[in-house]
A = this chain, B = another copy of it.
Amino acid sequence: VPTPPKTSVAAIVAAGRRILEAEGPEALTLQAVASAVGVRAPSLYKRINGRGDLVRRIANDAAAELGSVLAAANRDDPAEALRAMAHAVRRFALANPRAYALLFAPLPEDARVDEQLNADLAATIVRAAGGLAGSEHALDAGRMVVAWVHGFMTMELAGAFRLGGDIDRAFEFGVDRIVRGLEP
């Protein structure tokens, strides 16, 4: 006797992301997710391939969201585009710290962010960076910007800036000097 589904992949991923953000990665258990969507843990295996697969899907979900945030921050002027995108990443990371931490995490293969999503995300930045530094340096320049923003956010989210000072201003300083360093 066929039965109608009680839940869906989308509901599972949304519940997982909510739990991850609210209670941290240790609390992201299949039992917690199952209970949030109204089934028992074994039933989740009808839609996802275990915990690793769930984590990957959550990371993809966040990457897609960050992708549209970045696209919206794009500008005609390359320096303005880089500034706006840096701030957009920071805002996203502060609003979604646990999901953000998943984006470039050294996760097992089956938990990795989708290749295509990653490439799309990178392309927007590389184009702006190339506009500023010259197209022959587009890739290197894009990597420099992304590495700095990501490193800054990783450290800010981890509470690793422990020598006092104004973090907002440190970020502004960084944006200024990255742009300056990239100019030809």
Q: In the bound complex, how far is the Cα of B129 from the Cα of A177, in angstroms?
A: 13
Determine how close the nearest CB of chain B comes to the CB of A27; give it in whole angstroms.
12
Q: At the interface, yes or no: A180 with Cβ under 8 Å from chain B? A: yes
Q: At the interface, yes or no: A140 with Cβ under 8 Å from chain B? A: yes
Which chain B positions have C-beta within 8 A of A26? 108
Which residues of A are in contact with B by a Cβ distance under 8 Å?
26, 97, 101, 104-108, 115, 118-119, 122, 126, 137, 139-141, 143-144, 146-152, 154-155, 157-165, 169-170, 173-174, 177-182
Which chain B positions have C-beta within 8 A of A164? 139
- Known contacts: A173-B140, A177-B182. The answer to whether A152 contacts B147 by CB under 8 A is yes
Q: In the bound complex, how far is the Cα of B119 from the Cα of A39, in angstroms?
A: 48
Which chain B positions have C-beta within 8 A of A137? 173
Task: Report which of B143, B173, B181 forms a contact with A178, defined as CB distance below 8 A.
Answer: B181
Determine how close the nearest CB of chain B comes to the CB of A168; give it in whole angstroms.
11
Determine how close the nearest CB of chain B comes to the CB of A136; give it in whole angstroms.
11
Which chain B positions have C-beta within 8 A of A141? 173, 177
Who on chain B is nearest to A122 by CB? B163
CB atoms of A148 and B144 under 8 A apart: yes
Q: In the bound complex, how far is the Cα of B146 from the Cα of A97, in angstroms?
A: 20
Which chain B positions have C-beta within 8 A of A182? 177, 181
Which chain B positions have C-beta within 8 A of A165? 139-140, 143
